[in-house]
Structure 1
């Protein structure tokens, strides 16, 4: 062995480590941004790559920093999190996942952000471990929902009938109902007794048929179409 740890003067072989999930923190309050950066930077597998004080800064920063996830305040004075999420989805072919942070889970703005394409939401006062878990979850392709909150918010909206839901199979509707209850892909696979890969295929089919950007947006669209909610037998 030598000073480099390997035989015959050779360095040790590289250790295979997954890259951390990169995060852009967006909030108009500097204290909140600073606190979130400090908390998240201390979590394994996460790396805060930048901050923004308003939604108008988000798209240019995303184009430059290429974060995996944007942790987005929903209420900001100039460009709010809803409009910033819309801009990301309109401008980028593969936008980062968006997790909305909010003070109140029943905020109407949260529902609008989910409808605009956010993958989920989390309360600002949630434990840092819960916020970190939410970020890792959406980075992996899942969603973060508070099912009862989304149900209540959706109930206040008028039903918008759409022909898109007619193309869904019975199994895809079953999956949508599980997604609306907050089930992850793995939990849905266990519940329906199929493989994780099968669930991912079904999720892809649901998103394509509904023209939804992610699982959360698909759930919102299903509520708006009357497929879920009171009288829809969604269990």
Structure 2
């Protein structure tokens, strides 16, 4: 992967804070949308990201390390545009493909092939680009005749295979991986790892990898950022980041 200091910035967090309000129940959460008068039922506020700043250059492979609740998933959601910062600025330069919730966004009434077209349109691809993408996804997913069956007939594993196949076949500029490589059987897992390695060999692709596994982080990444309660605790080489993370477990 490219490590040049002259490489353009792919992702920048500039003093980013993401605050979630925790309410006593769903009813109070619903009313809070329309009225701020009764705040007695607001239990607390939590900063899932707390004044978080970092830059990731184009072509870097960076692991986010941290325990549950450290803020890793929140950071990824802001990068992928699922949620937005309460304060600060998130800058993303490039198309993002995320191996997060692989089965999210499928239309259960449509076939697997039709869902490829649906996701392609959602990404802003034109008809020719989708036509070029379709056979790659179909081949990688390897669902046989089920590719032309409604997704509602798929097992959870089959839906994950289709979601993964789409994500890794669309030539992303930024690839976000959140421990999603455990989909399917062992043979398909090996196929997934091989494809991610292939993507990462392209110096134009930026990779963000979130994991609890130090060995997986070291295998894929050259840099590590350690998060704890939404704050950045360490940022350096993957070896040093793992040593810091494991010494603070």
User: Same-fold call, TM > 0.5?
Assistant: no
Higher relative contact order (CA 8 A, sep 6+): 2
Structure richer in strand, relative to its length? 2
Structure richer in helix, relative to its length? 1
